[in-house]
Each structure stands twice: as structure tokens, then as C-alpha cells.
């Protein structure tokens, strides 16, 4: 059974990349090689997954390794390395090294800037280094998100949401806050929406969803069982499904009508950290701005938003006048 699953996974990859050109997201935008490596590291093929994870963990070394050296270090054959490169949509190992170098360009630029700043000001304060690094990582995520988002998929998602009678936002774990943020933003736009992060509540919602509803899922891994099962049930009833995920080959993408790819953080192990959520939030922001601009009642939305701001202002305490200074 495992062998059949591996075969299906890599056949799907091969069909996507028979042209030998860098893989695209359907809108003509080249997918970041790091996203491909993360997807391969999660695949059911243990050999390819281990090879991909080793490359992720040792990105800096790969550029200086020959194909035979990489094969020796990862304990696979050169043929396996070559096949791995082809399945990533590359012509060969040379293209893999070039793609990694290009993908790491922004990080290398940041390192050069860091070295220059340190040389000018002497040893950098540890806290200042933390502040700078956090900003660099999040800036990199936003730039990667801009290159990963498919415009046709984004346009399709906007049209689907505008036509929806009710939008069910779904997110678990670290993706739950993003789902609730989107829920609040949709409410401000006058859209009927709800957010769900409880599996049992989601099961009840899915069982009673009406035609015209839309399920909008947010999942970094794309492998959250409860979300996938809800999407499968909704799809069987003809309900539209949208998903934001960092893995274009994840199971969630197979049960969604529209897929939007978010960026993952470049680190030894790709974790669901705040930098990943920033990419998800950026996509939500793109959708909300586009919804406001394309809504048939855009003028009313602007007016209603102003009314909403005034109502929210009533919930805040008024500024207290400054106490007079005591004089001697």
C-alpha cells in the first residue's frame, strides 16, 4: 500500500514537471524551490523525503557539493539525486544548485548588510540583533508571498467569496488566529461569515451547510485531518472550498476548488512559526482589499465601515485630561 502511495505521489509530480522547466503555480509564477523541497520532505517516499530534508538542513553546503558528493553524504545513488531534481521540475543537479542560490539571495543580502553594519558600528548589541533578525525574516516572508500567490487563483477566490451566502472560515492550531482575523475582517466588509476551530462544531456545521455557502480553510501543512474531512463532505454536496496552505501537493489541495500558496520560513526545520502566519495574513489582506474594491456595493461598504468605526469608538474610554502639575 505504501509503495502504491509513493508511486502515485511521484507520478503526480512528474506530470506537473515533464517540461523540465521550473514549476509554476498556474499563473506563470515560478514556485520557490524551498516550497518544493518542503513538500518533498513531507512525501510518503522515505528516500526522497530524507534527501529533501537533508538539502533543507544543509542549504549552504549544497552549492559547493558535486552530485557524487551529495549522493555519498545522503547515502543514495547519483541516479536518485538526478531523478529527484527532475521531479522538482529541474533539468538536473546544476539547476538545483542554481535555484537554491537564487532562493537564498535575499538571506545572503541580509547577511552582507549585517556584516557591513557590524563593521561600521563595532560589535552589535544582542537585543538589536534580535530586532533586526525578526524584521528580516518577516520581510523575506512577505517578498516570497508576493512571488507565490497565483493571480488567477486569487481572482477565483474573490469571485467565490463575493457570491457566497455564508463563509465558513476553518483553522486549527497556529492557523486558528488567522482564520479568526479573516472572520473579523469579513464582518467589517458586511459579509456573512463565521469561524470554526473546534472539530465537533465543524462537523455539525458541515453536516448542515446550505448550498451557496463557502468553506475557507487555512492550514500550513495542508494535512489537518478535520479540515480535510470537512472539505470532502462539503465538496460532495457541491459547496465551494478555498484553502491557504504552504504545500501545493498536500492532501488539502486535492479537496479544494481554489488553492492559495503561502510561504514557509527558511530554517533547518520548517516550522509553523509567526513568519509563516504573516504570509497567511498577507494573503488574507490581499483578499479583503480586493473584496472591498470589487464588491458591487463598494460605496456602501465604505459608508458602513465608517459607521462601524464610530460604533467601536463608543466602546473605548475617553481620554482623560492631564492632571495639573503641582507647583510649590
- Region 22-31 average pLDDT: 40
| Residue 240 bridge partners (DSSP) | 214
Asked if residue 99 lies in contact with residue 33, where contact means CB atoms within 8 angstroms, the answer is yes
pLDDT at residue 319 in the model: 66
Report the C-alpha dihedral over residues 222, 225, 231, 233, rounded to 10 degrees. 160
Residue with the three cell numbers 558528493: 69
- Region 200-204 average pLDDT: 95
Q: How far apart are CA 91 and CA 94, in angstroms?
A: 8
243 pLDDT above the threshold of 70:
yes
Instruction: Give the Å distances, CA to CA, from 295 to 31, 161, 163.
Output: 30, 10, 10
Asked if residue 241 lies in contact with residue 231, where contact means CB atoms within 8 angstroms, the answer is yes
Identify the weakest region by mean pLDDT among 80-94, 162-176, 188-202, 229-243. 80-94
Band of the pLDDT at 153, cuts 50, 70, 90? very high
Band of the pLDDT at 304, cuts 50, 70, 90? low
238 pLDDT above the threshold of 70:
yes
328 pLDDT above the threshold of 90:
no
Q: How far apart are CA 254 and CA 32, in angstroms?
A: 20
pLDDT at residue 172 in the model: 95
Band of the pLDDT at 30, cuts 50, 70, 90? very low
| Residue 213 bridge partners (DSSP) | 166
Asked if residue 266 lies in contact with residue 140, where contact means CB atoms within 8 angstroms, the answer is yes
Winning range, highest mean pLDDT, from 18-32, 107-121, 143-157: 143-157
**pLDDT tens digits along 211-220:** 999 999 999 8
Set out the domains of the chain in order of their start, with CATH numbers: 2-103 (1.10.10.10), 151-313 (3.40.50.10490)
Identify the weakest region by mean pLDDT among 45-54, 141-150, 260-269, 319-328. 319-328
253 pLDDT above the threshold of 50:
yes
296 pLDDT above the threshold of 60:
yes
Give the 3-state secondary structure of residue 72: helix
Band of the pLDDT at 170, cuts 50, 70, 90? very high
- Region 221-237 average pLDDT: 94
Winning range, highest mean pLDDT, from 10-24, 43-57, 110-124: 43-57
Q: Where are the beta strands (DSSP E) in the chain?
A: 166-171, 193-196, 213-218, 240-245, 258-261
In percent, the amount of the chain with pLDDT more than 90 equals 34
Q: What is the pTM of this model?
A: 0.68
Q: In the structure grid, which three cell numbers stand for residue 6, read together?
A: 509513493
Q: Which residue has the higher pLDDT, 99 or 282?
A: 282
Average pLDDT over the chain, rounded to whole?
79
10 pLDDT above the threshold of 70:
no
Identify the weakest region by mean pLDDT among 122-126, 183-187, 209-213, 306-310. 306-310
pLDDT at residue 324 in the model: 66
Q: In the structure grid, which three cell numbers stand for residue 25, read together?
A: 503555480
Band of the pLDDT at 147, cuts 50, 70, 90? confident
101 pLDDT above the threshold of 60:
yes
Amino acid at each position: 500500500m505504501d509503495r502504491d502511495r509513493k508511486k502515485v505521489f511521484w507520478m503526480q509530480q512528474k506530470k506537473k514537471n515533464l517540461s523540465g522547466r521550473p514549476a509554476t503555480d498556474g499563473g506563470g509564477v515560478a514556485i520557490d524551490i524551498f516550497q518544493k523541497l518542503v513538500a518533498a520532505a513531507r512525501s510518503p517516499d522515505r528516500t526522497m523525503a530524507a534527501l529533501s530534508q537533508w538539502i533543507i538542513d544543509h542549504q549552504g553546503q549544497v552549492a559547493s557539493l558535486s552530485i557524487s558528493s551529495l549522493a555519498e553524504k545522503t547515502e543514495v545513488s547519483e541516479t536518485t539525486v538526478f531523478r529527484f531534481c527532475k521531479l522538482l521540475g529541474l533539468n538536473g543537479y546544476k539547476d538545483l544548485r542554481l535555484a537554491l542560490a537564487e532562493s537564498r539571495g535575499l538571506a545572503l543580502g541580509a547577511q552582507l548588510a549585517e556584516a557591513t553594519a557590524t563593521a561600521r558600528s563595532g560589535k552589535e548589541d544582542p537585543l538589536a540583533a534580535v530586532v533586526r533578525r525578526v524584521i528580516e525574516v518577516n520581510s523575506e516572508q512577505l517578498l516570497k508571498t508576493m512571488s507565490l500567490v497565483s493571480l488567477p487563483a486569487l481572482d477565483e477566490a474573490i469571485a467565490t467569496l463575493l457570491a457566497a451566502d455564508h463563509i465558513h472560515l476553518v483553522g486549527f492550531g497556529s492557523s486558528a488566529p488567522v482564520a479568526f482575523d479573516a472572520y473579523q475582517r469579513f464582518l467589517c466588509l458586511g459579509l456573512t461569515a463565521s469561524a470554526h476551530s473546534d472539530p465537533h462544531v465543524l462537523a455539525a456545521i458541515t453536516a448542515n451547510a446550505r448550498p451557496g455557502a463557502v468553506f475557507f480553510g487555512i492550514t500550513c501543512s495542508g494535512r489537518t485531518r478535520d479540515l480535510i474531512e470537512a472539505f470532502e463532505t462539503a465538496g460532495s454536496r457541491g459547496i465551494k472550498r478555498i484553502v491557504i496552505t504552504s504545500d501545493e501537493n498536500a492532501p488539502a489541495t486535492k479537496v479544494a476548488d481554489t488553492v492559495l500558496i503561502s510561504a514557509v520560513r527558511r530554517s533547518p526545520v520548517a516550522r509553523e512559526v509567526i513568519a509563516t502566519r504573516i504570509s497567511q495574513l498577507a494573503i488574507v489582506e490581499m483578499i479583503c482589499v480586493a473584496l472591498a474594491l470589487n464588491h458591487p456595493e463598494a460605496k456602501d461598504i465604505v459608508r458602513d465601515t465608517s459607521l462601524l468605526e464610530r460604533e467601536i469608538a463608543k466602546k473605548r474610554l475617553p481620554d482623560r485630561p492631564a492632571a495639573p502639575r503641582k507647583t510649590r
